Amino acid sequence: MALAATFLGNARSRLLPASIPFRFFGAAVAFHLLAWLALLAGAAAAPSFAGGLGLPLAALHLVTLGVLVMTAIGASLQLLPVATRQAVGSPRAMAALWWCYVPGVALLTTAMALAQPWLLAAGAAVVVLALIGYALLLARNLLAAKGMALVVVHGWAALASLGVLLVSGLSLAADYHGHGIIDRASALGLHVAFAGYGFMALLVLGFSYILIPMFALSESPAQRPAWASVAAAVSALVLAAMAAFGTQPAALWPAAIGLGLAALGVHVALMVRAQRSGMRPKLGRPFVLVRIGWAGLAASLMAALALALDARFARLASLFGVLLIGALLSLLLGMLSRIVPFLASMHAAGGKRGPPLPSALTAERPLAVHFGCHLTALALLLAAVAFDSAGLAQAAGAVGAAGALAFARFFMLACQRMQAVPALVPPPVATRRV
Q: What's the start-to-end Cα distance of the chain, in Å?
A: 61
Specify which residues 354 forms β-bridges with.
351
pLDDT in tens, 266-293: 999 999 998 888 777 777 888 899 999 9
Reply yes or no on whether the pLDDT at 78 is more than 80.
Answer: yes
The stretch 178-204 carries a mean pLDDT of 86
CA distance 285 to 190: 34
Domains of the chain from N-terminus onward: 2-348+357-416 (1.20.210.10)
Above pLDDT 70, what percent of the chain? 89
Is residue 110 a contact partner of residue 123, using CB atoms and an 8 Å limit? Answer: yes
Q: Are 377 and 403 in contact (CB under 8 A)?
A: yes
Q: What is the pLDDT of residue 261?
A: 95
Q: Which residues pair with 319 in a beta bridge?
A: none
Mean pLDDT of 322-326: 94
The share of the chain scoring above pLDDT 90, in percent, equals: 48
* pLDDT (tens digit per residue) in 369-383: 999 999 999 999 999
Residues 39-51: pLDDT tens digits? 999 999 888 887 7
- 89 with 134: CB under 8 angstroms? no
Mean pLDDT, residues 204-233 taken together:
88
Torsional class of 363: left (φ above 0), alpha (ψ -120 to 50), beta (otherwise)? beta
Q: Are 405 and 373 in contact (CB under 8 A)?
A: no
